[in-house]
A and B are shown apart, each in its own frame.
Chain A
């Protein structure tokens, strides 16, 4: 079986691994690096659960081969914050009940982080448009929208 050796940085840590070309980035993160915070839902780019940050912008890790990420800087949900030091977006989802089962949450958070980086004060329409590519089957989205609004507020207050 032919393998390609790739080097990637994930959450600031450098990894070098040999992978089959068909290895999806989502499976590479979950199975080869044991970073199971990135969730795999539909595996054909519809649900958004597997969303990660690749070189500063969001990407569907199920629609990316690990070999395509050779040399890339990847951020996953594990790099966002910790239980003791939550990222403002995590804090906001916690306070505003932006999740129930939590399956879609890693993708929702990465998508929200990207939005708030570009737009510190998004309208409800901006938020709904941005998360339209992320499916949630629990919340009805209302509390997710409120969480992202709250996160924006926390980040503005916390800002420089």
Chain B
């Protein structure tokens, strides 16, 4: 099928885009278009107006910020995937990119667009929650920050309000954390059946901080608190890893579809939790 008709506006700057958003309440932002245009072709969505931000030259950066990283909303997936700075400061994201989309889609698709699209099986939202990223949203009225954990509200639904644009993704410094990402999908690069992203910090041999974040098994990426609670305050041994895996499986209420039924997804979550927690613990070193 072909997309429905829409008005096309091209923004040359962030201010341009914000003004266009304020003037056109029916408008959507067009970034890489790798999800949006697919959905428009299928007429799952019919935005009346698109604001193309691809010409804005200064929002595709990947920069140091303190001991963390600031990523402009238009940074293309392949630039983030191959960034030495990201590999050094947020290796969990680099590892996740091994499972994110196919090369040609990554040439055009953007990290900011991916997060705003909020696909329930997407990898990047889980990583952002696991590393405690902060998202900067701007409108003509000013800017505000939202933690990744509070950004994802439902299937294709985020805390971004009408008139707002995601402008920057900020990832805090990694410190001494261990981390691991694992995914099960039917084919490499396809939509995930289940995802777990885990970050850990150990102190005196005991787990001090744990984040175990799932994607693909609910309306949006979310922390599995019972799995985290099973780890915190104790040494991470095989018994703890088993307990976390069981708690993770119990904490999700997955759906069934043609790719996998709910029981399979729940088993996958247990297996992925076991894999990521043990690998993250090893990396804490």
In Å, the complex CA distance between A111 and B101 comes to: 15
Q: Is there contact, CB below 8 Å, between A45 and B8?
A: no
Q: Is there contact, CB below 8 Å, between A58 and B54?
A: no
Q: Does A129 contact B (CB under 8 A)?
A: yes
Residue of chain A at shortest CB distance from B102: A133
State which size class the interface on A falls in.
Answer: 20 to 34
In Å, the complex CA distance between A65 and B40 comes to: 11
In Å, the complex CA distance between A6 and B185 comes to: 40
Known: A58-B107, A59-B107, A133-B189. A64 touches B8 (CB 8 A): no
Q: Is there contact, CB below 8 Å, between A45 and B188?
A: no
* Interface residues in chain A, defined as those with a beta carbon under 8 Å from any beta carbon in chain B: 1-2, 4, 20-22, 24, 27, 43-45, 48, 51, 57-60, 62-65, 67-68, 111, 114, 129-130, 132-133
- Complex interface bits, B38-69 against A, C-beta within 8 A gives 1, otherwise 0: 11111000000010101000000000000000
Q: Is there contact, CB below 8 Å, between B102 and A64?
A: no
Q: Is there contact, CB below 8 Å, between A133 and B108?
A: no
Q: Is there contact, CB below 8 Å, between A59 and B41?
A: no
Q: Is there contact, CB below 8 Å, between B102 and A24?
A: no
29 residue pairs of the A-B complex, CB under 8 angstroms, read A4-B8, A21-B6, A21-B7, A21-B8, A21-B50, A22-B2, A22-B4, A24-B37, A43-B41, A44-B39, A44-B42, A45-B37, A48-B102, A48-B104, A51-B104, A59-B104, A60-B105, A63-B38, A63-B41, A63-B108, A64-B33, A67-B8, A68-B54, A114-B103, A130-B103, A132-B102, A132-B189, A133-B104, A133-B105
Residues on B with C-beta less than 8 A from A62 are 37, 41
Known: A21-B8, A22-B5, A129-B188. A58 touches B37 (CB 8 A): no
In Å, the complex CA distance between A130 and B102 comes to: 7
In Å, the complex CA distance between A84 and B189 comes to: 37
